[in-house]
């Protein structure tokens, strides 16, 4: 990886991690949604610096869509009925997860190759998605369909009960 | 300046841990849903990094990680849509 891509990678990583921490600590709904938009931009930058241009476009659209949905004022506030000790335990668990993953990343014995994708890769990814791994694509499409139908059904049932 | 596979995996670990932290820390469950895209983004970053640095340089195997990153992005959006649908909409009483 040359210096330009490395700088882009580190800047994008800083944007995405800082955006994630902002989602955790900013109040209200709109500001965490905007922070999630920053995460989307950062993750897209990471993918782009890793020579995954098509994945960057899809990530920008999907994670940006998540940010728009979460920042919208149309959804109800659902407060979790759990005490502070469980939240603190969850935070400690997240820290332990970070330590475990960082340990695996640092001490893992990975064989490295200097592959450079070069071009944008849309056609190659498309061939893999719709020809070589069409079954996985169909599975994710089914998941999306079930999620949309389930969301619509839950929405209608809740409106009917009011 | 350069970035290797360990750096990519560190960033992926940070994203996954921050996502888990958001899911555990936020009281508002609709905002806690934002932890799901972050965890999926971390996993996708690890896949894309392995695809970039450690995939076997033969055939189309290098693109498998990018492909999984694409599928993870779509799955994260589907999970957030379903969660917000279950949470319900404000108003229209």
**A116 domain residue, yes or no:** no
Distance CA(B38)–CA(A20), nearest Å, equals: 7
Quick check: B66 and A112 CB within 8 A?
no
Residue A146: which domain range?
A: 121-162
> Of all helices (H) and strands (E), which one includes residue A95?
helix A84-107
**Number of folded domains that form chain B:** 1
Q: Is A42 helix (H, G, I), strand (E, B) or coil?
A: helix
| Cβ–Cβ under 8 Å, residues A18 and A38 | yes
**B27 domain residue, yes or no:** yes
Substitution target in B30, B43, B73, B90 with the highest count of A β-carbons within 10 Å is B73
pLDDT 10s digits, A17-59: 999 999 999 888 889 999 999 999 999 999 999 888 888 999 9
**What does the mean pLDDT of chain A come to?**
83
Query: Within this chain, do residues A99 and A157 fall inside the same structural domain, yes or no?
Result: no
**Number of folded domains that form chain A:** 2
Q: Over the Cα atoms of chain A, what is R_g?
A: 20
**B93 domain residue, yes or no:** no
| Cβ–Cβ under 8 Å, residues A101 and B28 | no
Flag whether pLDDT at A74 surpasses 80. no
**Mean pLDDT computed over A110-116:** 63
| Cβ–Cβ under 8 Å, residues B10 and A13 | no
**Mean pLDDT computed over B63-82:** 88
**B92 domain residue, yes or no:** no
ipTM, interface predicted TM-score of the complex: 0.89
Distance CA(B67)–CA(B44), nearest Å, equals: 9
pTM: 0.85
pLDDT at B93: 44
**B26 domain residue, yes or no:** yes
Residue B43: which domain range?
A: 5-87
pLDDT 10s digits, A91-109: 899 899 889 988 888 887 7
Query: Within this chain, do residues A24 and A80 fall inside the same structural domain, yes or no?
Result: yes
**B67 domain residue, yes or no:** yes
Residues of A (50-109) whose Cβ lies below 8 Å from B = 50-52, 54-55, 58-59, 61-63, 65-66, 69-70, 73-80, 87, 89-91, 93-95, 97-98, 101-102, 104-106, 108
Distance CA(B18)–CA(A72), nearest Å, equals: 22
Residues of B (8-37) whose Cβ lies below 8 Å from A = 8-35, 37
**Mean pLDDT computed over A138-145:** 85
Residue, of A74 and A134, whose pLDDT is higher: A134
pLDDT at B27: 82
């Amino acid at each position: 990886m040359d210096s330009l891509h490395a700088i882009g990678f580190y800047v994008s990583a800083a944007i995405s991690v800082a955006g994630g921490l902002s989602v955790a600590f900013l109040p209200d709904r709109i500001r965490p949604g905007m922070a999630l938009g920053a995460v989307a931009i950062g993750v897209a930058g990471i993918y782009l610096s890793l020579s995954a241009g098509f994945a960057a476009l899809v990530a920008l659209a999907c994670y940006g869509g998540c940010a728009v949905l979460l920042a919208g004022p149309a959804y109800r506030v659902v407060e979790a009925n759990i005490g502070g000790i469980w939240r603190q335990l969850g935070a400690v668990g997240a820290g332990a997860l970070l330590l475990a993953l960082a340990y695996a990343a640092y001490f893992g014995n990975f064989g490295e190759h200097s592959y450079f994708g070069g071009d944008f890769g849309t056609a190659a990814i498309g061939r893999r998605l719709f020809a070589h791994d069409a079954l996985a694509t169909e599975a994710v499409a089914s998941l999306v369909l079930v999620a949309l139908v389930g969301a619509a059904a839950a929405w209608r049932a809740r409106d009917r009960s009011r | 300046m350069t970035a290797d596979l360990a750096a990519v995996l560190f960033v992926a670990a940070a994203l996954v841990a921050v996502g888990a932290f958001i899911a555990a820390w936020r009281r508002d469950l609709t905002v806690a849903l934002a932890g799901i895209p972050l965890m999926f983004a971390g996993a996708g970053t690890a896949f894309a990094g392995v695809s970039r640095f450690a995939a076997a340089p033969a055939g189309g195997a290098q693109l498998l990680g990018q492909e999984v990153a694409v599928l993870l992005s779509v799955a994260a959006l589907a999970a957030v849509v379903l969660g917000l649908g279950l949470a319900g909409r404000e108003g229209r009483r």
